[in-house]
Chain A
Amino acid sequence: MSWFVQTCSSSVGKKYIMALTGFMLGGFLLVHAAGNTSIFWGRHAFNSYAEHLHSLGFLITIAELVLLTIFLLHIITGISLFLQNLGARDSRYAVQKSAGGRTWGSRTMPYTGLAILAFILMHLINFHFVDHHQPIADIVKPVLSNPLYSLFYGTAMFVLGLHVSHGFWSIFQSLGINHPKYNSLLRCISWIGCILIAGIFIAIVLLLLFSSSQLA
């Protein structure tokens, strides 16, 4: 076995894969959220943002393939870690109690991860695998003005926030970045990233639900 494969399949190596892919996915989320803020400036701004993005042509296709690879790495490694961790304790404790380390985010990591995967599939069906001959605003508007979809998207974004509330800080720790000088700063940055991402997406969902004229 080559040293590289051996490193990637070790427990520490897998954590590095999760952290590095998580970092890239976090970056994608920030860019995605920032791009979507064009919705706040109305139909024209949103459509022209989408047109500019699509005018990049094959660069977008490459970016999509890279993103797909990162997602698959994150999902497959995550599931493999989850199953390994389940197998690492064969008998359960009768009394389970936290000593103070776990958070709602860390506790639910694999489950929120799988829920986000289900959401992404739905999200792609809604907005990606559709007829793109019409402007993006006309694709998004009917979906997100439907209260059922709003509930689904809003819940999904809350779950995403929960996932990254542990994930962002975890990236630093897994990459070995832990120093008393910077720990509170890193925690702060992680929380800002988490609130920014979940906040922007939830704000968009609420805006499109309550202000149907936004994309008109």
Chain B
Amino acid sequence: MAANTISITVKIWRQSDPNSTGSFENHRLEDINTDMSFLEMLDVLNERLTLSGGEPVAFDHDCREGICGMCGAVVNGIAHGPERETTLCQLHMRHFRNGETIAIEPFRARAFPPIKDLIIDRSSFDHIITAGGYVSMNTGSAQDGNTIPVAQDKAEQAMDAAACIGCGACVAACPNAAAMLFVGAKVSQFALLPQGEPERKKRALAMVEAMDKAGFGNCGNERECENVCPKGISIRNIARLNREYIRAAFTAD
């Protein structure tokens, strides 16, 4: 079967360094195979830019199979593009029309300062994780997993929260640039499990403090985050974070 091709115009954000003011650049791309992923389309663009002596577009990517959380851009106003529960690398060109102009911008938030073109600095997420997104365990041989009872439904919910790949789309999509879905997921995955119990209160307090310090906005319950999350993480996790935080604030020693 012959591959379908489309011709598109990409209106893509170019910014040479963190301090310069960026702007959009238009590029016409003919004969784009619709079976290509979005990042492969950017590869084609970069190849052409390089061959014509231009500077290729810088964008983050790693696994290209939707599980690492490195890629991401705002495509036509929606983080990770128009397909639900899909990372940018798993978005395919068949979802675009022939002749379409596609606007591509970086995730924008004060807490995610730009580095170059579509690449942003998401180390504020790392600082939040460092503040409390872990469990402390004694070294030595691991105990038998079955000695700690975990209810099946709780395990499932913890796993759903742990599906977060930390891509930052929730922040990008939030009208307030809040990181509540990310922190909600990271707090929930431990709060639901007995292994997270010892540091439960400390974790909720420390991670919210780190989040506030990083300059993220405040949750307005707009629900944009759960609609762009490539892992379909629910705002139920934000409600859980709210409970965890207030419980910890009033009862932590």
Of the A-B pairs whose beta carbons lie under 8 Å apart in the complex, a sample of 10, sorted by A's number, is A10-B245, A12-B241, A87-B215, A93-B105, A107-B222, A170-B220, A176-B239, A176-B241, A176-B246, A178-B235
> Which of B34-42, B74-82, B125-133 binds A?
B74-82
A84-B218, A99-B224 as given contacts; A89 in contact with B110, CB under 8 Å: yes
A109–B221 CA distance with the chains assembled, in angstroms: 11
CB distance from A108 to the nearest CB of B (A): 11
B249 and A93 within 8 A (CB): no
Contact with B along A81-109 (1 / 0, CB 8 A): 10011011111111111111110001101
> Which of B2-10, B88-96, B205-213 binds A?
B205-213
| Interface set of A (CB-CB < 8 Å, partner B) | 3, 6-7, 10-16, 81, 84-85, 87-102, 106-107, 109, 166, 169-170, 173-180
B105 and A95 within 8 A (CB): yes
B77 and A11 within 8 A (CB): no
Q: Is B240 an interface residue (CB 8 A)?
A: yes
Chain B: residues with Cβ within 8 Å of the partner, total of: 49
Interface SS of chain B: mixed
Contact with A along B225-237 (1 / 0, CB 8 A): 1111000000110
A88 and B226 within 8 A (CB): no
Instruction: Enumerate chain A residues within 8 angstroms of B71, measured Cβ to Cβ.
Output: none
CB distance from B252 to the nearest CB of A (A): 8
Q: Is B61 an interface residue (CB 8 A)?
A: no
B236 and A180 within 8 A (CB): yes
Known: A97-B76, A176-B246. 8 other contacts (CB 8 A): A10-B245, A12-B241, A92-B108, A102-B175, A166-B221, A174-B219, A174-B221, A174-B242
A90–B215 CA distance with the chains assembled, in angstroms: 11
Residue on A nearest B215 in the bound complex, by CB: A88
Instruction: Enumerate chain A residues within 8 angstroms of B182, measured Cβ to Cβ.
Output: none
Instruction: Enumerate chain A residues within 8 angstroms of B246, measured Cβ to Cβ.
Output: 7, 12-13, 16, 176
Task: Specify which of A16, A88, A101, A179 lies most central, judged by the most chain B CB atoms within 10 Å of its CB.
Answer: A88
Residue on A nearest B76 in the bound complex, by CB: A95
A10-B245, A11-B211, A102-B223 as given contacts; A94 in contact with B103, CB under 8 Å: yes
A47–B242 CA distance with the chains assembled, in angstroms: 45
CB distance from B169 to the nearest CB of A (A): 9
Q: Is B190 an interface residue (CB 8 A)?
A: no
Task: Specify which of B105, B178, B240, B246 lies most central, judged by the most chain A CB atoms within 10 Å of its CB.
Answer: B246
B221 and A106 within 8 A (CB): yes
B109 and A88 within 8 A (CB): yes
- From residue 86 to 132 of chain B, which have CB atoms closer than 8 A to chain A? 103, 105, 108-111
A6–B208 CA distance with the chains assembled, in angstroms: 11
A84–B173 CA distance with the chains assembled, in angstroms: 17
CB distance from A151 to the nearest CB of B (A): 30
CB distance from A88 to the nearest CB of B (A): 3
B243 and A176 within 8 A (CB): yes
A10 and B209 within 8 A (CB): yes
A107–B221 CA distance with the chains assembled, in angstroms: 10
A84 and B217 within 8 A (CB): yes
Q: Is B238 an interface residue (CB 8 A)?
A: yes
A88 and B235 within 8 A (CB): no
Instruction: Enumerate chain A residues within 8 angstroms of B108, measured Cβ to Cβ.
Output: 89-93
Instruction: Enumerate chain B residues within 8 angstroms of A178, measured Cβ to Cβ.
Output: 235-236, 238-240
CB distance from B108 to the nearest CB of A (A): 5
CB distance from A100 to the nearest CB of B (A): 5
A97–B218 CA distance with the chains assembled, in angstroms: 20
A180–B225 CA distance with the chains assembled, in angstroms: 18
A94-B24, A178-B239 as given contacts; A14 in contact with B173, CB under 8 Å: no
Instruction: Enumerate chain A residues within 8 angstroms of B78, measured Cβ to Cβ.
Output: 97, 99
B178 and A3 within 8 A (CB): no
B208 and A12 within 8 A (CB): yes
Instruction: Enumerate chain A residues within 8 angstroms of B236, measured Cβ to Cβ.
Output: 178-180
A179–B225 CA distance with the chains assembled, in angstroms: 18
B176 and A85 within 8 A (CB): yes
A176–B246 CA distance with the chains assembled, in angstroms: 9
A89 and B173 within 8 A (CB): no
Instruction: Enumerate chain A residues within 8 angstroms of B239, measured Cβ to Cβ.
Output: 173, 176-178
Q: Which 6 A-B pairs have the closest CB atoms?
A: A97-B77, A101-B223, A88-B217, A178-B239, A176-B243, A95-B77
